[in-house]
Amino acid sequence: MIYETLFTALGGSIVGGLLSLLGVYYSIRAASNEKQKVIIAAQKLQNISLLRSILAEVTSIKQILATQIETRLNDSQTAFCWTFPLDSDYLLIYRSNIDKIGLIPDPQLVQKIVALYTTSQLFIDCLKSNNQAWASWEEAQKLKLQYYGTPLEAYYQQQVERCECNFGVSLNENIRPAFFPLVSQIHELGKSIMIFLSHQGK
């Protein structure tokens, strides 16, 4: 009788302990699941914010291309005799968030973003080269006038012609081939971002 009472009490304690442990386990699991949901929601909001910023940046780039470069590019048949100010960082949002772009849960969209900014950097490098060619042309023109009527005039005339040839190379081998793919990529990326955001309910 004593043993029976002892075993009953012991069994009740064990069962009670197990139920308590089970309760703790499910509480921890529920808290963990809730924390995971918060992390996922925060990541989703971060992706949405980042994509909106990228969309704003590429839209701004598109406007710059349309208003400041495309018209001049269409009017320039043999040379791009114009300089573009490159003191600003036109890819600031991209450069500041490179480590976050890979977290966007759409590999094709990530690929389009990286491809666009690679082409953008290529185009900026082309403009830099053209700016340098223009600066060299201006310097050669000044020296040609400075040495007008002297034996050096012919030499600086050759320098002017060489710079003008560089303009043609810059336009047809660098600027044009980079410009039109860039415009196309901006259009495609804009559509892809809008589609992605619409699927996020934003």
pTM, two decimals, is: 0.71
CA dist 104 → 40, 46, 62 (Å): 12, 9, 23
* Domain-located, residue 138: yes
* Domain-located, residue 195: yes
Give me the DSSP letters along 66-115.
Answer: IIIIIHHHHH-SS---------S-TTHHHHHTHHHHTTSS-HHHHHHHHH
Q: Are 47 and 104 in contact (CB under 8 A)?
A: yes
* Domain-located, residue 86: yes
* Domain-located, residue 19: no
Write out pLDDT tens, residues 136-152: 877 877 877 777 777 77
Q: Are 176 and 74 in contact (CB under 8 A)?
A: no
**Residue ranges, the chain, pLDDT below 70:** 1-33, 76-81, 164-170, 201-202
Range(s) of the domain holding residue 96: 53-199
* Domain-located, residue 150: yes
* Domain-located, residue 102: yes
* Domain-located, residue 30: no
* Domain-located, residue 13: no
Write out pLDDT tens, residues 172-183: 777 788 888 889
The count of domains in the chain is 1
